[in-house]
Amino acid sequence: MKLIKATEKDIPLIQDLARRSWENAYAEILSEEQMDYMLSTMYSADEISNHLKNPKYHYYLILDEVNDSPEGFVGYEHAYENQTTKLHRIYLVPESKGKGFGKEVLVFLAGKTLENGDNRIILNVNKFNAARKFYESQGYKIYDEGVFDIGNNFVMDDYLMEFIIHK
């Protein structure tokens, strides 16, 4: 696996990877209408472009080192809160799951978190998303939960998870 810093030219690829991974991850959890709404707002070209212009927000493409194929992406923001990095998104296309890419990305993220002076990573995960078990297997713990209004009469019903990095 290799990680390549994403740029504006990668926005269409990020959008495609998001749609492909969401169709798999959320098919049983979210309605098609909610998925379309969230993808069109959270992954609009303007939204991703604004993230890329924020010096604290980073996108990396996850590539298979053998054939350079894009397998997913990660988006995170350092200095989100007091010494906290927020993992906003990590998505892999269905055929990439189980190959160790997710674990490698979390190790990479922990390194970047320390590099930026943070010592805690937080994330939201849908309460019905199987990814919760993956995060728990990597040492993440649930510290709270929340229901977040995202507009258009839709909500996100999430667990809030954290990982404390001991230096």
CATH code of 89's domain: 3.40.630.30
Q: Decide if 153 is inside a domain.
A: no
Report the DSSP beta bridge partners of residue 31: none
Structural tokens at position 15: 């959008």
Q: Decide if 146 is inside a domain.
A: no
For the chain, the domain total comes to 1
165 exposure class (CB count in 10 Å sphere: 0-12, 13-18, 19+) = middle
Query: Residue 63's closest CA among 99, 114, 113?
Result: 99
Q: Decide if 139 is inside a domain.
A: no
Angle at 19 between CA 113 and CA 125, to 5 degrees: 45
Q: Is 80 exceeded by the pLDDT of residue 167?
A: no
Cβ atoms 121, 108 nearer than 8 A: no
Q: Is 90 exceeded by the pLDDT of residue 116?
A: yes
Q: What are phi and psi of 162, to 5 degrees?
A: -145, 155
Return the sign of the alpha-carbon dihedral for residues 9, 18, 15, 145.
Answer: negative
Q: Decide if 14 is inside a domain.
A: yes
Q: pLDDT averaged over the chain?
A: 95
% of the chain with per-residue pLDDT over 90: 93
Q: What is the span of the domain harbouring residue 18?
A: 2-123
Query: Which pTM does this prediction carry?
Result: 0.94
pLDDT band at residue 163, thresholds of 50, 70 and 90? very high
Least confident of 58-62, 77-81, 93-97, 156-160: 93-97
Q: Decide if 137 is inside a domain.
A: no
Q: Decide if 30 is inside a domain.
A: yes
Query: Mean of the pLDDT values across residues 120-136?
Result: 96
Query: Mean of the pLDDT values across residues 92-112?
Result: 95
Q: Decide if 145 is inside a domain.
A: no
Q: Decide if 54 is inside a domain.
A: yes
Q: Which pLDDT score, from 0 to 100, does residue 97 have?
A: 84
